[in-house]
């Protein structure tokens, strides 16, 4: 899989995860006694980042063998490149 294809798939994952932000924030605020979270936005940021990084590894695992450290660094770099947009969509 080319790096462009990988980035396109990871971007799809990010966009899908970002689309769930309003429902996550609402659920956390409605259940704050259960979640015990000081900052719902930071909590959701962690969820989105975990989804993007985890799915990136899963995508590569389904294509080849277990992703190498170099593969994982590529995934991280692709996801990290989109952090400003992710944070803007959560905090604004």
Residues 56, 82, 39, 92, CA torsion sign? negative
Residue (of 37, 40, 60, 46) closest to 17 by Cα position: 46
Q: Is 14 exposed, middle or buried (0-12, 13-18, 19+ CB in 10 A)?
A: buried
- Residue 40 to residue 36: CA distance in whole angstroms: 9
Residue 10: closest CA among 64, 65, 83, 68: 83
Which pLDDT value is given to residue 64? 63
Matching residue, tokens 């396109």: 8
What's residue 3's pLDDT?
A: 80
User: What per-residue confidence (pLDDT) applies to 26?
Assistant: 93
pTM beyond 0.85: no
Q: For the chain (length 92 residues), average pLDDT per consecutive 10?
A: 84 91 92 91 94 86 78 90 93 89
**Domain layout of the chain by residue ranges:** 3-91
């Amino acid at each position: 899989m080319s790096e462009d294809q990988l980035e396109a798939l990871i971007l799809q994952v990010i966009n899908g995860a970002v689309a769930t932000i309003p429902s996550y924030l609402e659920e956390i605020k409605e259940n704050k006694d259960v979640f015990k979270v000081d900052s719902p936005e930071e909590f959701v940021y962690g969820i989105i980042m975990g989804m993007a990084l985890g799915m990136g590894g899963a995508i590569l695992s389904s294509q080849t063998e277990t992703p190498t450290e170099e593969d994982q660094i590529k995934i991280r770099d692709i996801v990290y490149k989109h952090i400003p947009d992710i944070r803007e969509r959560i905090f604004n």
